[in-house]
Chains A and B, each alone.
Chain A
Amino acid sequence: MEPVLELEQLTVRFGRLEALRSVSGSFSGRSLGLLGPNGAGKTTLIHTLLGFHRPSEGEARIFGRDLGAEPKAARAPIGYMPERDAFVAGMSAVRFVRMMGELAGLEPKESLERAHEALWYVGLGEARYRSLETYSLGMKQRAKLAQALVHGPKLLFLDEPTNGLDPPARERMIRLIRDISATGKVHVVLSSHLLRDVEESCEEVMILKGGRIVYHRNLEEERRADRKFLQLQIHGPSERYIEALREGGCECTPEGRRRLRVVMPPQRTIRDLYELSSAHGVEIRHLDFHRTSLQDIFDRAMREEA
């Protein structure tokens, strides 16, 4: 699969401040969540990929196009929804989105048509002729999303898209982002300091701290791996059972008299655990997959870095 983003030793300095430090990595999935504490470099990374900051060292490529050598061509397939309020005063939403479509390279007629579609898609269909200044915060966020989508980008940068939204509006925004990413035609990079936003809408997670990547994994794969990590609550003579589990290749750690933490080898199944327990007169009263939350991952990444 063609990599969407490729970063090679990307460094960005503002005077003496090093905002990004030798960041390397690539992304080719459908959705990537950028996480990190304030000042970690999330927004700087997005701004650099948009060409707002010139890299001090290193390279960045978007769909194989070098940002330094072909900045316009690299930006052409991008849609961007900034964090702060961003609109043109005195314009209706449809006119604003149409203008942004034309600036992205659409013909005027097509841009107008797609502006209507994008506004309906984000739920502003009925309000599309209203001036943007009269919009609520949630509506402005959706208008920003519409302008980012109007030209049908292949890569969408969303910077804190749920900022300031009430719970229903946030829910709606996350659903939209999930839908866009699910089409498979748009790759989404979402920057947020809200772990829940990323957990609910992204496949991959990149955690930044102090301008460096401290974690970059696929959340789904991480969760699939978790399915082999179990917590059991048992009743009955446990010693022989634990021995049998170990003989079967499981890593087994008792936690008190009735609790066990078990890491199963790939060839073992849950059914094997039940068959062994039955053979050794042990009842499994509770079985739980240990599910690593994004909070766990984030905390671990922060701890390891510290």
Chain B
Amino acid sequence: MAVHQRDYRPYGSSPPARGPRWLVLPRFALADLTKSKLLIAFFALCLIPPLYYLTVVYLRHSAAILQFFPGLDLERLISIDADFFAQFARIQAGFGFFLTLFVGPGLVSRDLANNALPLYLARPLSRVEYVVGRLTVLILLLSLISWIPGLIVVALQAGYVDGWLGANLGIPIGLVGGAWMWMITLGLLALAVSAWVRWKPIAALVIFLFLASGTFLATLINGLFGTSYGKMVDLGAVLSILWTRWIGGVTSSDLPTAAALVSLVTFLSLFVALLALKIKPYRTVS
């Protein structure tokens, strides 16, 4: 029967409970995002560094290269260690930041601008699940350019050198753990700004200025007071310090890890509080 000839059929019972309903949100959002050619092009650009790193690992162990340049000390020239992966993480964090600027600002503002939240929250979906659903969009995209290709590079290196993985187990653990910390923090920042600033370009500018002003303030505080604790107000630096140290790399900052963690928790609490104030079906005035 043709669709237009059918009448409305009410259900005899409630719809069956399927898996997590919040997964519907990232599925629809990702389908919309993939319609943007600019995003696809930028995403492809984000995958160039991982390809470069894979190539470097391949060349580092390539017998053909060693045969071609017999005097070349590749072991000294290309050292595949924690710093190698920390550098990879820093580069991908930069790309991920711009990807977040592109995707993040529209994630929540689109729903808030048109009062769609009551429609979501009137269904069996909680506020937390809504935020997790929106956050998943960024986490999926950022995962594809950070820890997933990072683990592929690790796997290639481990495949070439017996016992390397056992001796450097901290590298993949730090890479994945740091990536999740970075993705969740960046994602919550983007969602919080998206919830408060409805115009996408302005929201992207606010995210950019938030991180840039942190760097400026940190430099100012460190310079004025001769301390390294100024970095605590620089979210980008805090993330970089923690991620690099978790991988096992060396950082130029003297900020203690505990202080960086305190700063991170403070920033996360701020973003969650900002979201909690806005992600409501209706505002109530008492």
Q: Report A's interface with B, CB cutoff 8 A.
A: 13-17, 47, 50-53, 72-73, 75-78, 80, 82, 84-91, 95, 99-100, 102-107, 113, 116-118, 120-121, 125, 147, 149, 151-154, 157, 180, 183, 185-186
Contacts and interface: CB of A to CB of B under 8 A. Distances in A.
Given A52-B281, A147-B119, A107 B28 contact: no
A77 B14 contact: yes
B125 interface: yes
A88 B116 contact: yes
B9 A47 contact: no
B63 interface: no
A78 B32 contact: no
B8 interface: yes
A82 B285 CA distance: 18
A152 B3 contact: no
B9 A117 contact: yes
A50 B126 CA distance: 11
Given A47-B282, A121-B7, A149-B8, A78 B16 contact: no
B8 A118 contact: yes
Nearest to A117: B6
A89 B200 CA distance: 13
B3 A105 contact: no
Contact of A100 (B113, B115, B123): B123
Contacts of A85: 114-115
Given A76-B14, A77-B14, 14 more contacts: A52-B122, A52-B281, A72-B124, A75-B122, A76-B15, A85-B115, A86-B114, A88-B111, A88-B116, A100-B119, A105-B16, A105-B21, A117-B7, A154-B13
A14 B286 CA distance: 5
Interface string B9-49: 11111111110010011001000100000000000000000
A51 B120 CA distance: 12
Contacts of B278: none
Contacts of A105: 14-18, 21, 124
B123 A75 contact: yes
Contacts of B123: 75, 100, 103-104
B110 A103 contact: no
Contact of A80 (B111, B122, B280, B284): B122
A180 B7 CA distance: 11
Given A17-B286, A73-B124, A103-B125, A125 B119 contact: no
B286 A120 contact: no
